[in-house]
Chains A and B, each alone.
Chain A
Amino acid sequence: MTETTTPKRGVSLWVQIVIWAFIVGLLALVGVTLSKRQQGTVQPGDEIPDFTLPLFSGYEYEGRSEVSLSEFRGKVVVLNFWASWCKPCEQEAAELEEAWRTYKDSGQVVFLGADYVDTEPEARAYLRKFDITFYNGPDMGTRISQLFRIRGVPETYFIDPDGVLYYVKVGPFLSVDEIKSVIEQKLP
């Protein structure tokens, strides 16, 4: 950067190596990320790695403010990504809640709502507005949505009792029956 008066000199080999290594590294990093993004969401048949969802107060699971996927082995997990700013989410909000109330007491199905890129007051207002009672919490740092490589909201993921993804719904559900029929596939 600072100029010198020494005779004309090229860029030293080491500096060149560092520069090219940096550029190659950067491009590789971006390239890999790009190809991941282009894969789309996780697919049915994939085993879902464990994740932890913090829960909003008032939406806790058995009094705990945090749940992990692994503790729901043996149950069907319905993971819904939503956001308060998302209008299509409102289309399915009442249906999801109704489906939850159907299975709530069976103990075989768990509904989790992951609030994607949102602020808590807005999210709470949304939950109140649709009288939602299933477990809900913020997808902190979009970790869970990245795990599932979601493209947007709403998206809903159905995980079977063995922790394997078996159904993906992109976009809102149109009816309660649609949700139920997917759940029933994995119930005894």
Chain B
Amino acid sequence: MLAEFGYGVLLVSFVVTVYSGIAAFYGVRSKSSALVESARRAQLLTFPLITISSITLIYLLVNNHFEVSFVYEVTSRSMPTYLKVTAWWGGQAGSLVFWSWLLAVFTSAVTLRKWDRDAEFLPWVIVISSITLTFFLGMIVVFENPFTRFWLSNGEVVPSMFRPSANATIFTPNDGQGLNPLLRHPGMIIHPPMLYLGFVAYVIPYAFAMAALITGRTDDRWTRITRRWSLWAWLFLSLGLVLGGRWAYDVLGWGGYWGWDPVEIAAFMPWLTGTALLHSVMIQEKRGMLKHWNMILVILTYSLVIFGTFLTRSGVLSSVHSFANSPIGPFFMGFVTLTLVSSVALLIWRWPELKGETEMKSMLSREALFLLNNLLFMSILVVCFWGVIYPLISELATGQKVTVGPPYYERATGPLFAGLLFLMAIAPLSAWGHSTVQTLGRAIWKSALAALVVTGVLFATYTQNIYAVVGFFLVALVLFATAHEFWRGARARQKAQGENIFAALGRLMGRNRRRYGGYIIHISMALMAIGILGIEIFQTETQGTVASGEKIAIGDYVVEYRELASWDSPGEGVNYTRAVVDIYENGIYLGQLYPRIDFYYDSQQNMTIPGQRSTFRDDLYILLVDWQPVSSIGATFKIYVNPLVNWMWIGSITFLFGLIYAAWPDRDPADAPARRKVTAGNRQTSAAD
């Protein structure tokens, strides 16, 4: 009964969404504001509808309704309630509902805003978002229905939404298969929703960009309305990536956080264009330039979101993350084609009208450096895109599939990332409009000198590896130059306003949230770079099988195997096997670690939990690989020393802080241009711009 109800509500939302798109389209064609208003209300209705359907699904999940095939596939009796709720996005069908629900949240939120100043955008934004939502709901209703139930029909169990034959009865399995244990980690519980939030939130900037192209209103209105959306979208996407990395580090048991897997790259590519967009939008706002480019970036970002989702979910790319082969492929392919072709056609059509207002005057001006930053991001994108697409080409051309591994990506993107770090250090110091080598040199020499000193010390005491030395120099340069920026701004304000330095800094940052939030993000990127350098260049690993009392040495560490225990926890449906090892560093006892393997009976899967000892200098990361079943004769361990990796997570937290600082709502972001004129005088004297 409940399953039919949930499905029925989904069908209604589908119809309402289709209506909303059509009504908005005819409303704008016939200049009927009543019709557009009706479309807007229909759009608003999708949110409660999909919410009801989702609540129904969650109810089924939480209450062990295993006659529903989706519930059977992703939950089991032994799972705690919170995990059953999160199973909502643990499988293909449910995650599509989740995705649609987020989309409804965003489109409803955007239709609720004040539209008086941009009424011409409204119908088109509704059309674009309705098409997207129609597509996702259609995919659920037709191909991936989470409410499908098992029926016993003529001695066979068949999954079907409705009674497959007259005498069929509902079949309820005793217990479900349970969520893949790899997905039971806290990082994994928040990681997909964050990623989806990021993906879905990019629909809004895209819809506005399309509306701007269709209506021909090619000023920077659309970027001003959507910049906060882009920022939040970027926040969620970044958070999703970072959490995914943390999850991989904790759970996947290969001592790393990023494996250049196609699914990871599929999520990383929109992040690259999204980051480029964040920067280049500023040029459009400040200088009226790069309008074409911003359009291209919005279209690229959104297309990459859709394209990446398609590639990974349709089974076109094989991946450890892979969703099961599913029938949505051709349908999804159609949507990808529609998106790409219509966006590009619109862009080409409006191309002549998107002209810049000023010209680039200096190769070292802020805008020129931003452009260079964009080029670097695009280059990384090309590297990634080629890596993802190349196996397909190769398979088509030679009949054999190759996988493109981490070394390709590392070598190809390494110098580009280094270039980005360098720009991160110098770009904030250059002026809008015009900069010369002299002005830039004057601004940066102190930071460069300080960075050189630090690098020299590191060279003498820590490493002589040339890549690491260059990397650390760039990181130090970014940190010093950025800190110097804070200092300079605060000093100038202190002199002008007579405030003390902390008050001056506080006010300065408060007045220029986006700018200083951005700098905090730059700092966080430099911190993350330390972690990345550490793990890429200095990671060491070893493996050994030892009997109780025997030792394995790695670097300064010695790991001594003590004992092993294996026990069942019937309540959780898990068998734990836990090893106890003593850790010594240079002969000094540091304590014990407990690497373990959890075996989940319901899904018949193992989960490897590393024993970790984490410091600012390095992580000692121990995996239990194998053991002899008879007491503790011997056990096999894989041991990693991951230097500096903690800076990755410190950087991530700093990053989050900077992003929230930058994205935190001021009074009314859309009215910012009006206010800016009044405060323009102040801003120039405060050395903030």
Contacts and interface: CB of A to CB of B under 8 A. Distances in A.
Interface of A: 1-5, 8-11, 16, 19-20, 23, 26-27, 29-34, 36-38, 49, 85, 87-88, 117, 119, 121-122, 125, 128-129, 141-143, 146-147, 151
Interface in B284-317: 289-293, 310-311, 314-316
Contacts of B254: 119
Contact of A1 (B292, B344, B353, B625): B292
The listed residue with most A CB atoms (<10 A of its CB), out of B291, B336, B401, is B401
Nearest to A151: B325
A119 B636 CA distance: 15
Summarize A's interface: helix, strand, loop or mixed: helix
Contacts of A38: 315, 325, 329-330
Given A30-B316, A146-B400, A19 B392 contact: no
Contacts of B344: 19-20, 23
B110 to A, nearest CB: 28
Interface stretch (B354-362, B416-424, B505-513): B354-362
B360 A2 contact: yes
Contacts of B565: none
Contacts of A151: 325
A117 B320 contact: yes
Given A16-B348, A121-B625, A27 B340 contact: yes
Interface string B521-536: 0000000000000000
Nearest to A144: B400
Interface in B391-405: 392-393, 395-396, 399-403
Contact of B392 (A9, A30, A119, A143): A30
B604 interface: yes
9 contacts: A3-B356, A3-B358, A4-B359, A8-B355, A11-B348, A29-B396, A119-B254, A125-B626, A142-B318
A19 B605 CA distance: 47
Contacts of A125: 625-626, 636
B333 A3 contact: no
Contacts of A8: 352-353, 355
Nearest to B351: A11
B295 to A, nearest CB: 11
B606 interface: yes
Given A27-B337, A30-B311, A151-B325, A1 B626 contact: no
A142 B401 contact: yes
A2 B374 CA distance: 12
Contacts of B402: 141, 143
Interface in B593-644: 604-606, 625-626, 636, 638
Interface in B194-212: none
A33 B348 contact: no
Given A8-B352, A128-B626, 5 more contacts: A29-B392, A32-B396, A34-B333, A125-B636, A129-B626
Contact of B359 (A3, A32, A33, A121): A3
A47 to B, nearest CB: 14
A1 B348 CA distance: 13
B543 interface: yes
Contacts of B395: 33, 36, 146
B389 interface: yes
A92 B293 CA distance: 56
A64 B116 CA distance: 77
Contacts of A141: 401-403
Contacts of A30: 310-311, 316, 333, 336, 392
A34 B330 contact: yes
Given A26-B389, A143-B402, A9 B396 contact: no
B341 interface: yes
B393 A29 contact: yes
A33 B392 contact: yes
Nearest to A28: B396
B314 A122 contact: no
A3 B356 CA distance: 6
Contacts of A4: 356, 359
A49 B340 contact: no
Contacts of B341: 23
B576 to A, nearest CB: 16
Contact of A37 (B329, B340, B389): B329
Contact of A19 (B292, B330, B336, B348): B348
A4 to B, nearest CB: 8
A104 B290 CA distance: 70
Contact of B289 (A3, A19, A37, A88): A3
Contact of B604 (A2, A3, A9, A88): A88
A19 B292 CA distance: 15
Interface in B379-396: 389, 392-393, 395-396
A121 B348 CA distance: 54
A30 B605 CA distance: 33
A87 B389 CA distance: 31
A50 to B, nearest CB: 11
Nearest to B182: A85
Contacts of B329: 34, 37-38
A64 B340 CA distance: 51
A36 B325 CA distance: 12
B392 A3 contact: no
A43 B302 CA distance: 39
A10 B393 CA distance: 32
A37 B543 contact: no
B314 A37 contact: yes
Contacts of B289: 3
Residue among A5, A16, A34 with most chain B CB within 10 A = A34
Contact of A142 (B337, B403, B638): B403
Nearest to A116: B318
Contacts of A29: 389, 392-393, 396
A37 B348 contact: no
B211 to A, nearest CB: 21
Contacts of A23: 340-341, 344
A121 B638 contact: yes
A126 to B, nearest CB: 8
Contacts of A117: 320
